[in-house]
Structure 1
Amino acid sequence: MSYGFSLDDVAFLRSGAGSAALAECAALPLTAATHIADVAAVRRLAGAEYAAAVLETLVLRRKSVSKLDDSAGWLFTGDAMQQASASAVARHRASRLAGRDVHDVTCSIGADLVEIARRARWTLGSDVDEVRLAMARHNAAEAGVSPTLLRADALAPVSRETVVVADPARRDSAGRRAWKPADFLPPLDGLVGAYPGRPLSIKCAPGLDFAITPWAEEVELVSLDGQVREACLWRGFGASVSRRATVLRSDGTQWTVTDAEPDELPAREPGEWIVDPDGAVVRAGLVRHYGARHGLWQLDERIAYLTGDTPPPGVRAFRVLEHGPYSEKSLKTVLKRHEVGRLEILVRGLDIDPDALRRRLKPRGGAEASVVLTRIGRSPVAFLCRAERIPNAG
């Protein structure tokens, strides 16, 4: 369970004494094996009253490094850090708000707010949680931005004529993922009703059924380094598309596909390559549009795998070595013939657990391969492939 920070904790952590304690404790190992010694050191340097707050802050700062840029001096709660958008994703969303007046009505510890404030004309952040708001004030100062901050309920408007940005909590009180608008906190429908006629940018879970958010003029799915991170519902931005998939990479490259592009795509015999589209493309329902852009075709019109003779640039694609009807016995024979010992298994359209199947196959050998299992029509098919990273164009 995460430590529950108080306003007094935040005030200490922001003070000279707190900053000194955090700096002196920063080199502690903070491992399970050193826990008792770490706690003793923190209590000695920070005092018993604030030891838990210092220790939790050190742990969260280390966790934040892989997610948030330049966050070494930030303050977090465990839940807020977990929910915060990765910096690359937050920057992308903020880029669409550049030059606008923006009110982040659920600003939390300020991860999105900082990126918005760097691009917007004027930025207001508010939250009902006083502790998170105090942390946002500290984090904004650390980042060198100065948004206006105040305590307010997201469902009780305190601004006019701004774009409204929100990131409702996406888990219900039992810890389950929220898949319905009413399960978010604050509820999606409540947010929409509270800001009639205002431009909205609302982050939500990628697994939400977007058919039940008819007010959203555009649904954007965003992935980072192959992992779908969020969906964003846009209203009031003059959208020319209704669905968009944005694919981001940590190296700064990105691309987008939308439903305004052609989607005429045949289903034909397998080509030289199998392409598994990025999860954002699949979740956004844009597999056909993506395939048409790159001259690919489908193995089966109901399956998201694509095939072709030239894979798109910058993707990890699967060069087909051989393929045929799937059965465990026949697949085991193929793996033995190719002396495959290191095996990756990808599955779409079949009820197969890749890990359980790998254990049953017991591959042995020095070669490495990928197996793509799917169906064409009603028939299960196996493709033995070699995974390759395709260079970016140019």
Structure 2
Amino acid sequence: MIASSRSPLIILVHLSVLLLVALWTLPTAGLLISSLRDKDQLAVSGWWTALSTSSQNLTGRASAPDAQVERDGKFVISGNLTEGGSAKVSAFGVRPMQPAAFEPGTAADIGDGQTLTVNEDGSYELVSPAKMEGTRGQRIFYTASVPPRFTLDNYREVLSAAGIGSSFINSLTVAIPSTIIPILVAAFCAYALAWMPFPGRAILIAVIVGLLVVPLQMSLIPLLRLYNGVGAFFGVPAKTYVGIWLAHMGFGLPLAIYLLRNYMAGLPREIMESARVDGASDFDIFVKIILPLSFPALASFAIFQFLWTWNDLLVAMVFLGTGNDELVLTGRLVNLLGSRGGNWEILTASAFITIVVPLIVFFSLQRYLVRGLLAGSVKGG
């Protein structure tokens, strides 16, 4: 008898998956929305308010005294604080401690017989009985209700920064070989550990599992000293792409071998035995049978490895350097943020630029991710 309702466990699993999807999607969507918002609105409200009108405390300045005109025996300076925008002023003032001292349309006495009037649409009029002197205009504080504004200026500012293009190419030069090389090496090792019996195989598998928990920071300096020693012996420069490729290969091989070995060990034995009966060598079996069947596992590791190498900063700084020509994208954006202080618009746009390529890789290969992680689930017919 087939139950008409779903098992509570299945419902719980589905709800858990939906929760994980939401936890992953919402921050990404928030980052994208924030990167497209006006920098003034981004500084005062969260991304979830992007479609609502926000109240902002703003600062403007009247035109300089050289723009004054004489009208009815008085000198007048006029203009618009919102520059023709659709913001509505709800209050204004001339002192930082009292930014909302006057209502729109009120003629505020600012001293020396001068009056300032700011209207709801942002237009203002500064009237003085005597000719105004100086080189800077009167500072005006005002509170305005600003409708949502979206712009690409944040991306233009980041993408137009010096060196961004070369750093993007540097990151691709690091990430692509650092993903392909470990896969090629690990695939051969995984096949040998899964299907080729030899003395010490179990010990070697145990060592690989143990290497999975070795912290990168603990092995980084010894690896760098070893590489520099070998490089000096053969006359190879210390800061090269070869060095960082080898470093990423070393750090990525334990996971790659473990994942691929578990997957290959679960492939049907009958297929390989039939191939051997037909005279196929181990290399033929590996290339023509194992690799095509192991594509989900290869794609799964490729996702993890590419995400790690693309977002890496520590290994890139150690093995590649921090020179202007060698700096990867993450390092370039860190420098950009450091020179711009805490500008949120730069931070959000920079962060989204760094995740665009990983998102493309993930969504291109995500259908193989679960199949590859469920190593050993394939059974022969």
Confirm or deny a common fold (TM above 0.5). no
Structure holding more strand per residue: 1
Greater length-normalized contact order (CA 8 Å, ≥ 6 residues apart):
2
Larger radius of gyration: 2
TM range (shorter): under 0.3
TM-score normalised by L of structure 1: 0.18
Structure holding more helix per residue: 2
